[in-house]
């Protein structure tokens, strides 16, 4: 009867046992790799928190990992909105501020809290500031008392751009090439939303106002995009409330919204907004 040959793994196992070495189970290895990933992501975010505007090279040196590894983490954080890149420098992204809103800490971002308070007093309805993070709209600030919309904003941080007035206002202001890519990407999954947006597109571009009705028709929203510099939209300002109260005031609320946002834009003229 011939002898069975040992495989390489069996030999390695025998050597490990003979040498008294412990063998790390595959599950433990996966867990360690998962912890390492979390550590890297945490390092990157903490670095940007304490040193906003870091370059990629500075991030690589700070994290102390291979460029390819850091590049992968950074691209992922950019795509999901946790980081924001401007001229090769990195800042915290909108998703971070979506969490602060969910936890009850309001950060106004591109407008001041006083701006939101004043707009709320004039309009008599809730005011929300939203920014685009990847394919979603994230509310980063709010003021006013609409319990339904306020609860939604805190419990559903990421919103579909096509399903919100603020998202549609931002999407309409995007460069044509970027907008077309977005619409093609979503046409297969959300054909009706894409079709509705295309029907509304000319009106949104002409008036700079987008509207939306949700919650089985009980909530009405009207929004416009806040521009920084030339025509780059960096945020949306949305007024939200009961449909029966807001829809009859649509024209007046739209005029007020455009007037106040126009003032915000003039005040910020020449500034490139950085979320930091």
How far is it, in rounded angstroms, from Cα 181 to Cα 135? 11
Beta bridge partners of 212: 221
Contact 209, 222 (CB under 8 A): yes
Beta bridge partners of 221: 212, 240
Could you report the per-residue pLDDT of 129-167, keeping only the tens digit for each? 888 877 888 888 888 765 555 555 555 567 889 999 999
CB neighbour list of residue 198: distance below 8 Å, 6 or more residues apart: 183
Could you report the per-residue pLDDT of 216-232, keeping only the tens digit for each? 778 899 999 988 665 67
Share of the chain above pLDDT 70, in %: 73
Distances 119 to 59, 123, 125 between C-alpha atoms, Å: 40, 6, 9
How far is it, in rounded angstroms, from Cα 263 to Cα 267? 6
Could you report the per-residue pLDDT of 237-246, keeping only the tens digit for each? 999 999 999 9
How far is it, in rounded angstroms, from Cα 61 to Cα 3? 54
Domains of the chain: 21-92 (1.10.10.10), 104-267 (3.30.450.40)
Mean pLDDT of the chain, nearest integer: 78
Please state whether the predicted TM-score (pTM) of the whole model is above 0.85: no
How far is it, in rounded angstroms, from Cα 276 to Cα 45? 12
Beta bridge partners of 130: 139, 236
Residue 161 DSSP code: G
């Amino acid at each position: 009867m011939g002898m069975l040959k040992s495989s390489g793994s069996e030999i390695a196992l025998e050597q490990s046992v003979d040498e008294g070495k412990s063998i790390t189970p595959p599950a433990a290895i996966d867990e360690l790799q998962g912890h390492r990933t979390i550590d890297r992501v945490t390092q990157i975010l903490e670095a940007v928190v304490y040193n906003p505007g870091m370059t990629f090279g500075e991030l690589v040196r700070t994290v102390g990992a291979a460029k390819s590894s850091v590049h992968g983490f950074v691209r992922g954080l950019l795509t999901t909105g946790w980081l924001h890149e401007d001229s090769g420098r990195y800042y915290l992204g909108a998703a971070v501020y979506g969490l602060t809103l969910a936890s009850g800490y309001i950060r106004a971002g591109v407008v001041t809290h006083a701006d939101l308070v004043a707009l709320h007093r004039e309009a008599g309805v809730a005011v929300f500031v939203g920014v685009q993070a990847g394919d979603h709209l994230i509310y980063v600030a709010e003021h006013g008392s609409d319990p339904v919309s306020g609860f939604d904003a805190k419990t559903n941080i990421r919103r579909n751009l096509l399903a919100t007035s603020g998202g549609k206002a931002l999407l309409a202001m995007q460069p044509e090439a970027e907008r077309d890519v977005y619409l093609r990407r979503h046409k297969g999954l959300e054909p009706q939303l894409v079709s509705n947006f295309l029907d509304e597109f000319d009106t949104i571009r002409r008036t700079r106002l987008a509207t939306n009705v949700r919650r089985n028709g009980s909530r009405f929203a009207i929004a416009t995009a806040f521009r920084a510099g030339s025509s780059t939209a960096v945020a949306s300002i949305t007024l939200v409330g009961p449909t029966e109260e807001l829809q009859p005031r649509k024209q007046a609320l739209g005029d007020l919204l455009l007037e106040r946002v126009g003032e915000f834009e003039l005040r910020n003229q020449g500034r490139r907004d950085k979320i930091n």
